[in-house]
Structure 1
């Protein structure tokens, strides 16, 4: 009988050199373990802080109120500011998230499609952006009401910490939350400071960032603007990204706090390199797939021939008001924004010919808004403390969406005839209730959320039939957790929940035949269970461990994917079983070590079509490891580290019959330095990624009909950065 947690796979990663030090006798940390603490350091505290200090870390994910991470019955990791900002270009959140167990954050080397993030296998099938994992920034959703989000909207330059919640308690964030990644930016404090950072790297990567922060007249302010350019590692993958961010915090009255945030993201004509077949990747990891039907004298790749690209213009503003009333609190959050996208996909003329197809150019203008109102009540009960949160969350988006042929005359890559014209409206209304009772060594948590999800389609392009219509889904998702404090340094816990995952708007757009809206697609339903241990060993070691199981009915899977268009269907039952371990330890003379291990067996638990029972879910590695050995000398302002990342192979389609992306082990090196002189502070960093120049597939496009699954990752590459800050 096969071991459900595949611990042998993790052992194999150790044997392959996944960690830079022998694990025997050493506990390490997961780069941001907040569920237990090490990386869940309070604002301004290093992720490498001693365990005793980190155990008091305060988190809000899962409980929605400030809470000691050590005493909460869930797997939560926290990545601190230094880890996010001091040793990377701060372009992709995947760089900071690499050290979180249970989370796979893959850089596609494709800024048109953004990162691929999955939590315990949820979200791995996403053809672009992030779905199945809820994204939140400063308490405001970075995911749309249908569950689709873009990690590119995160402002990493001003990040204070990132909390990553996995497991049953993710259900309290809505029907599409298989996990939660929540970003918190810094607040303006103290005397004004002005800072700039310049960084550069391989493949023409370069970034400039300018920010200011401070507090004056009781108003804290943070302002940031940046520009990032890259020629791209893969052919036809150049990009420019402009970001802007502003945050104001003030106290209008006694016990009150108002936070206002505004952000913008702009990417013009970001090139899309598309995926390639196995033989093409083996020949040249940078190359695109050649279009053999091209009539030009020199045949071009699909990306070149159709000039695949995407332009994004995204702005939003939000406000959060908190009013403290004794031990209780009222919180009101509201937000709104606009997102405009034009995307050119690689559709051939032959594929576009039928009138039922919507064309290879996607063009939409989206307005979105939402609100969340909650009341937190705190009182004594039966010798303990009862904290209850009751609230309601609402979200809405409305698209004016058009589709065009991706050719005009004889040449593709140009907006052609209209093929789609419709209005798509999505809304969700979710009342929720959470409560926690803590008394002595016991902490009991319970919650209930009722999700009501609605989609309305108004079709204006009627020459191929009328696709107007609507869908409504609803379900209640309960969650419960129990934690017991065996001693002041050892906690055990268990939790369980029911989950509800509705299709996103993009998953509903096409039916399997390539025709219109897929009104037959149904939500997936899941049951989650988790048990874990949180421990402190001595004064400098933290260990978190969890085992989990998820059973899903009606799993949403890729039906067909070609040229950027993907259709979905409901499959059979799936089963996910796994184990996660994260640890941190500190040695003498400034040395520390961290480790994060994941073993995950994610399979179809019931056959469907040509897919056999026991086939692995595509896009999900069955083992993943991160290890780090670091040295820090605060007195000298110097730091250095060796990082290793290892992943098992990844299948790209449901039957597991096609070539899988092989497993890999990478070694990264980093150096940091800091100097202070009067009101000035100078920082520098250098990184050498993939130091042994390993060729590997960074991510896969799940279920691509043309078998162009693979997205190559860079070989040996470098980054350098320098920053200067002045405090007035």
Structure 2
């Protein structure tokens, strides 16, 4: 197995980089046209001197059209988990230490709107599959431009590259009561248009007590006011309900992996507590683009959002109300010099939240007596400056820095004699320097140094134990990185390998008490090193035969993550492997398209065994997954096309946990993922 890993590192591993939608396209051509926008680079992926992954519609549509998870997990260095249907976790470069659920230490934007709230939380589960058209994942600290986040940044876009008026209807059904319906209408033209979409998803779930339902409605518009300015709006409303079955011990997992958490001691079972989450989120943002001249431009976004969460659990019933607003403004200036080009980017971002959290005694899934009532005010701001110099002989130097500050205050209304608890996280400077050089037209090398930081979220300062912890400090660290990108055989072969060394200070670590409630503490320092690689090969770059496109791809992540200096009471955990991080993960696949429209996608995924606690005394076993999708895409006329498909996930019925509860009290680590499951669907697209 070690020789296999070594070979994969040497040749790289691949992630599909061609962009195609609907009817198969010339993949060698689209490979050259793929463009990355992160850090304002606006250049082809193969020429972007940074560790960034781009997930296109082609990659998203090769799975079951239910969520983003399989496409995200096919990229190196990124891990998305689903503890139960609708409950997602996301981490970049392996840090699951502070993610009991949701997203931590990663900044997320949707259509340029800050989607991570000022409390530091990101509700990715409020998106349906159809609200995302492309994803850029910046791996490693991105604080120099995107503010708080030691893991990286996620740039989501729902807008099609080429607008075409029309209507789509797509349906997917499958195992465990799977139902997925999307309807979309596109009105207008390229200059002025509206896109209205509605999605309904539901299912019974694989485990007991895992029923879920999600309704998402969205509206997007683009108005070209003049040659100099335009307006875009993005509005989304999500109504989500899902049951939470709770973690199982290893004994319970082996005896019946489909079971929900049973009653234990004074705590009821998942069904007895009616453990679930009801979440409603509304977000509306407007973006104004203005060109002062050909060289000087501005993009300004303002937004308002509101989330309401009801969460009966084993120990209490929580209600959260989270209104917030904010904005981001970016100026860009481009200047052509004698033998160079200068690009300057500067601006700022600010957010303000007015949250309220109430906890009650849980009486069979209903709120009973009040335990705590807290008003939480939080704000943050970031100012940034970045300059890029493109020199002759294909040198590119990029340097940026941001200054950031955030604050949180908590007033416990249920204890009027308790003074307001407040913490301001002092100004953080986050610089980044990157340099790249194209040695030959087919080979690019790059290196960077960057600092990242991430203050604790509102839910970490006020966790489910309801104890206010303003002593919790922000984590921060410096990342050193180098990589190579190469493009050979007339764009048929793409290979990318990068290595990094990252030391994190004051790492925030999740703990769980005997009741299963989460709390957090700073855990000293960690040493995180890794190699991420991807490779992709197009066997038929210019095929005129029956097979129009045949590609093989794969990605490999190789991590060495350790506690560098960490003592828990009298126990020295220095040198222990970071829990929740698999040393090796591999994803690979084959994509086949034919001239008549028949296609097939095969995917294989491997995860190494993973430590479940800080002491490394228990591990989740390694596992392998195989998935398959086949279908027929057919354009009957220039206006009507269809996609009829079917497939399997977890074809060989592997038993594994997708989203282990790290450091869980009582050894309740396991959240069983679905076994073998089937899906089938039909999409009808009409354009006018």
TM-score category of the 2 structures, normalised to the smaller one: over 0.9
Would you say 1:231 and 2:204 are equivalent positions? yes
1:398 is matched with which residue: 344, 350, 354? Answer: 354
Would you say 1:378 and 2:319 are equivalent positions? no
How far apart, CA to CA, are the structure 1 residues paired with 2:396 and 2:96? 31
Would you say 1:578 and 2:530 are equivalent positions? yes
Give deviations 1:359-415, integer Å, cap 9, x for gaps: x111121111111112101113452001011101001111122111112xxxx4321
Report deviation, 1:86: 5.5
Determine helix, strand or coil for the equivalent of 1:96: helix
Instruction: Provide closer, same or farther for how the CA distance between residues 199 and 562 of structure 1 changes in structure 2, counting only shifts above 3 A.
Output: farther
Instruction: Provide closer, same or farther for how the CA distance between residues 182 and 561 of structure 1 changes in structure 2, counting only shifts above 3 A.
Output: farther
Determine helix, strand or coil for the equivalent of 1:145: coil
Give deviations 1:305-350, integer Å, cap 9, x for gaps: 1111111110010011111221221111111111011101111xxx
Give deviations 1:83-138, integer Å, cap 9, x for gaps: 22354223x22122121100111122242xx2111111234530111112222111
1:450 is matched with which residue: 403, 408, 417? Answer: 403
1:672 is matched with which residue: 608, 631, 637? Answer: 631
2:213 is matched with which residue: 240, 245, 250? Answer: 240
Q: Which runs of 5+ in 1 are unaligned?
A: 1-7, 15-22, 32-37, 295-299, 348-359
Which residue is equivalent to 1:288? Answer: 260
Instruction: Provide closer, same or farther for how the CA distance between residues 240 and 225 of structure 1 changes in structure 2, counting only shifts above 3 A.
Output: same
Contact (CA 8 Å) 1:424, 1:458: kept in 2 or not? yes
* More moved, 162-171 vs 545-554: 162-171
2:50 is matched with which residue: 74, 80, 84? Answer: 74
Contact (CA 8 Å) 1:426, 1:454: kept in 2 or not? yes
1:518 is matched with which residue: 469, 494, 512? Answer: 469
Q: Which runs of 5+ in 2 are unaligned?
A: 541-546
How far apart, CA to CA, are the structure 2 residues paired with 1:333 and 1:44? 31
How far apart, CA to CA, are the structure 1 residues paired with 2:600 and 2:122? 34
Contact (CA 8 Å) 1:123, 1:133: kept in 2 or not? no
Which residue is equivalent to 1:627? Answer: 588
How far apart, CA to CA, are the structure 1 residues paired with 2:341 and 2:20? 23
Instruction: Provide closer, same or farther for how the CA distance between residues 362 and 562 of structure 1 changes in structure 2, counting only shifts above 3 A.
Output: farther
Instruction: Provide closer, same or farther for how the CA distance between residues 577 and 46 of structure 1 changes in structure 2, counting only shifts above 3 A.
Output: farther
Report deviation, 1:466: 4.4
Which residue is equivalent to 2:653? Answer: 693
Q: Which protein is richer in strand relative to its size?
A: 2
How far apart, CA to CA, are the structure 1 residues paired with 2:305 and 2:158? 19
Which residue is equivalent to 1:501? Answer: 454
2:15 is matched with which residue: 30, 38, 49? Answer: 30
1:437 is matched with which residue: 386, 389, 409? Answer: 389
Report deviation, 1:472: 3.1
Q: CA RMSD in A?
A: 2.4
How far apart, CA to CA, are the structure 2 residues paired with 1:234 and 1:191? 41
How far apart, CA to CA, are the structure 2 residues paired with 1:250 and 1:236? 46
Report deviation, 1:612: 2.2
Determine helix, strand or coil for the equivalent of 2:620: coil
Contact (CA 8 Å) 1:188, 1:215: kept in 2 or not? no
Determine helix, strand or coil for the equivalent of 2:667: coil
Which residue is equivalent to 2:313? Answer: 345
Which residue is equivalent to 1:661? Answer: 620
Instruction: Provide closer, same or farther for how the CA distance between residues 622 and 217 of structure 1 changes in structure 2, counting only shifts above 3 A.
Output: closer
Report deviation, 1:176: 2.1
* More moved, 440-449 vs 102-111: 102-111
How far apart, CA to CA, are the structure 2 residues paired with 1:703 and 1:574? 17
Report deviation, 1:266: 0.2
How far apart, CA to CA, are the structure 2 residues paired with 1:89 and 1:682? 15
Report deviation, 1:172: 2.5
How far apart, CA to CA, are the structure 2 residues paired with 1:64 and 1:330? 12
Which residue is equivalent to 1:355? Answer: none
Determine helix, strand or coil for the equivalent of 1:706: helix
Give deviations 1:38-68, integer Å, cap 9, x for gaps: 34x4888979822x6423422211x135233
Report deviation, 1:594: 0.3
* More moved, 201-210 vs 66-75: 66-75
1:335 is matched with which residue: 303, 308, 332? Answer: 303
2:169 is matched with which residue: 191, 196, 203? Answer: 196
* More moved, 120-129 vs 619-628: 120-129
Instruction: Provide closer, same or farther for how the CA distance between residues 469 and 132 of structure 1 changes in structure 2, counting only shifts above 3 A.
Output: closer
Contact (CA 8 Å) 1:692, 1:716: kept in 2 or not? yes
Determine helix, strand or coil for the equivalent of 1:711: coil
How far apart, CA to CA, are the structure 1 residues paired with 2:587 and 2:3? 11
Which residue is equivalent to 2:543? Answer: none
How far apart, CA to CA, are the structure 2 residues paired with 1:45 and 1:580? 31
How far apart, CA to CA, are the structure 1 residues paired with 2:23 and 2:449? 32
Instruction: Provide closer, same or farther for how the CA distance between residues 448 and 158 of structure 1 changes in structure 2, counting only shifts above 3 A.
Output: same
Give deviations 1:614-646, integer Å, cap 9, x for gaps: 11111111110000022111x211111221000
1:11 is matched with which residue: 4, 25, 33? Answer: 4
Give deviations 1:424-459, integer Å, cap 9, x for gaps: 011111000011000121000111011101101122
Give deviations 1:271-308, integer Å, cap 9, x for gaps: 111111111111111112221437xxxxx962011111
Contact (CA 8 Å) 1:107, 1:698: kept in 2 or not? yes
Would you say 1:415 and 2:415 are equivalent positions? no
How far apart, CA to CA, are the structure 1 residues paired with 2:93 and 2:609? 16
Which residue is equivalent to 1:121? Answer: 94
Report deviation, 1:704: 1.6
2:61 is matched with which residue: 74, 85, 90? Answer: 85
1:598 is matched with which residue: 540, 552, 557? Answer: 557
Which residue is equivalent to 1:357? Answer: none
Contact (CA 8 Å) 1:134, 1:179: kept in 2 or not? yes
Would you say 1:49 and 2:22 are equivalent positions? no
Instruction: Provide closer, same or farther for how the CA distance between residues 170 and 217 of structure 1 changes in structure 2, counting only shifts above 3 A.
Output: closer
Contact (CA 8 Å) 1:42, 1:57: kept in 2 or not? no
Instruction: Provide closer, same or farther for how the CA distance between residues 24 and 258 of structure 1 changes in structure 2, counting only shifts above 3 A.
Output: closer
Aligned residues: 675
Instruction: Provide closer, same or farther for how the CA distance between residues 164 and 503 of structure 1 changes in structure 2, counting only shifts above 3 A.
Output: same
How far apart, CA to CA, are the structure 1 residues paired with 2:371 and 2:131? 42
Which residue is equivalent to 2:117? Answer: 144
How far apart, CA to CA, are the structure 2 residues paired with 1:663 and 1:552? 27
Determine helix, strand or coil for the equivalent of 2:83: coil
Determine helix, strand or coil for the equivalent of 1:526: strand
Determine helix, strand or coil for the equivalent of 2:565: coil
In the superposition, the TM-score normalised over structure 2's length comes to: 0.93
Determine helix, strand or coil for the equivalent of 1:700: coil
In the superposition, the TM-score normalised over structure 1's length comes to: 0.88
Would you say 1:538 and 2:497 are equivalent positions? no
Would you say 1:389 and 2:345 are equivalent positions? yes
How far apart, CA to CA, are the structure 2 residues paired with 1:86 and 1:642? 9
Which residue is equivalent to 2:37? Answer: 60
Determine helix, strand or coil for the equivalent of 1:108: strand
How far apart, CA to CA, are the structure 2 residues paired with 1:559 and 1:190? 48
How far apart, CA to CA, are the structure 1 residues paired with 2:567 and 2:25? 45
